[in-house]
Amino acid sequence: MARTWFITGTSSGFGRLLTEQALERGDRVAATLRRPEALDDLVERFDDRLWVARMDVTDAARVREVVDRAFRELGTVDVVVNNAGRGISASVEEATDEQIRDIVETNLLGSIHVVRAALPHLRAQGHGRIVQISTAGGQTTYPSFGYYHAAKWGVEGFCETAAREIAPFGIGLTIVQPGATPTGFAGALATAPEMPEYAASPAGEVRRALAAGDFPLPNDPDKIVRAVLDLVDSGEVPLRLPLGEDTYRDVRASLVARLAEHDAHRDTALSVARSD
């Protein structure tokens, strides 16, 4: 059965690929992006099955306006995909205040704006799915990506809470965690002037690897999008879906280490209980 998707950040990367693959299999897509002309070729190919609107997820009022209009004009939306995002490669000292604000407003607050705008409509129709595109960096960390992690860890905490709150309304939510993938994301990373003090640090090493094109990108973007489509088709609603050998390896190692450290402090944790 054909579905209707609402997808943010559709000009490139996973958003563009998901839009294309959903349309190619006969679904409808409400595609939002800051530059609608980037989808002119798809509008020509798919005509009335592609609904396009200009939207910047950092503009909460505009998000509400576009989401309201999409539901009103399309009648129903089955899947809301929070994909819009951007990255930055810089040590915690190097990034500017403006860059930090931009990352948080786009990746964290932008996703929150979309979920909040969509929920009244999803509740009213009594069904729906939210797919939050996160990253391996939503549960583990890499040097030079501290502010990207801050936003992604934040949105995963928000989504984990929201998933529990909206389940009684028949709305499912899944956090998708792709690993490093050649989508153009690395080439679009914001950067900041490098401080010499960090040149020999892990942050400097990562920055040089990115600049030299030596940062491994082991995953296939088309297969990742196919996995998202398959997940929605299956009807299963896992809270998180890791995608990529690197995601599976790195997130698992992080979780194991965190649990070991957590358990190492068991006696201290229990020792502060009130005696009464």
Tokens 């000292």 belong to: 93
**The pair of three-digit structure tokens given for residue 101, joined into one six-digit string:** 């604000």
Annotated catalytic residue within 91, 111, 134, 144: 134
Annotated catalytic residue within 89, 91, 144, 148: 148
DSSP 106: I
- Would you call 142 a catalytic residue per the annotation? no
Residue environment code for 154-164, b if the CB has 16+ CB neighbours within 10 A, otherwise e? bbbebbeebbe
What's phi and psi for 92, nearest 5 deg?
-65, -20
Tokens 């040097």 belong to: 143
- Would you call 134 a catalytic residue per the annotation? yes
- The long-range contacts involving 15-21, CB below 8 angstroms and separated by at least 24 positions, are 15/81, 15/83, 15/84, 17/183, 17/221, 17/222, 17/225, 18/81, 18/83, 18/225, 18/228, 18/229, 19/50, 21/222, 21/225, 21/226, 21/229
- Would you call 148 a catalytic residue per the annotation? yes
Just list the catalytic residues.
134, 148, 152
